[in-house]
Chain A
Amino acid sequence: AQKITQTQPGMFVQEKEAVTLDCTYDTSDQSYGLFWYKQPSSGEMIFLIYQGSYDEQNATEGRYSLNFQKARKSANLVISASQLGDSAMYFCAMREPRGNYGGSQGNLIFGKGTKLSVKP
């Protein structure tokens, strides 16, 4: 079963409007971390925002906020006031506390991504 599911292969949004990118995850651990990354056409991976499973408040970083609904295992990214430079692939990722080799932390598991296009 997929650990991270992003159901929107592509999204369009009008410049200056808000957009929500969906992400659901699957884990049996109580302690985990959720991340969003942006990948523009240049290929670099840019860290956007982090949410810990025990964090009571939704994470915010500037125009980015994470709508964390733990019971639903949902970690949607909300981008407010979209800009043309927001056009990119967006990846949701999860880190579980234990790696396959019993390490103190596991690797990040990524979803397949959502391609966001901002229209002028």
Chain B
Amino acid sequence: GAGVSQSPSNKVTEKGKDVELRCDPISGHTALYWYRQRLGQGLEFLIYFQGNSAPDKSGLPSDRFSAERTGESVSTLTIQRTQQEDSAVYLCASSLKGASYGYTFGSGTRLTVV
């Protein structure tokens, strides 16, 4: 596709349930990133995939969070046993390899845990 696609755009879930968020990057972009943005806050790095290298998981806030990516395609971010503090917009971005390339962001998934 022309841009980074995220689904669902909105998700309301009950506390304690698991959720899965999906990101489809721009074709040819080897790097993929997940960020979290709480209401009125900046972007908090979660995880970074670069090609077939081991992902940088240093931003994941707890072991309830995990993410997968197969090759250079779709990624899924899974949050297990959701808590109310997980409520946020989850943004996915992709980029070409190289420090001078900026990210192209998706529209995000707004997660509300009730």
Give the number of residues in A that approach B within 8 Å (Cβ atoms): 27
CB distance from B114 to the nearest CB of A (A): 20
- The main secondary structure of chain A at its interface with chain B is loop
A33 to B100: give the CA distance in the assembly, Å.
6
Beta-carbon contacts of B17-47 to A below 8 Å, as 1s and 0s?
0000000000000010101000001110100
Q: Return the chain B residue nearest A35 by Cβ.
A: B102
- Select which of B45, B56, B100 is within 8 A of A50 by beta carbon: B100
- Select which of A37, A44, A107, A110 is within 8 A of B48 by beta carbon: A107
- The main secondary structure of chain B at its interface with chain A is loop
A111 and B42 in contact (CB under 8 A), knowing A103-B53, A105-B50? Answer: yes
Answer yes or no: B64 CB below 8 A from chain A CBs. no
Residues of B within 8 A of A (CB): 31, 33, 35, 41-43, 45, 48, 50, 53-56, 58-59, 89, 91, 93, 97-100, 102-105, 107-108, 110
The 5 A-B residue pairs with the shortest CB-CB distance, nearest first, are A45-B105, A110-B43, A112-B42, A47-B102, A100-B58
Residues of A within 8 A of B (CB): 31-33, 35, 37, 43-45, 47, 50, 52, 91, 95, 97, 99-101, 103-105, 107-113
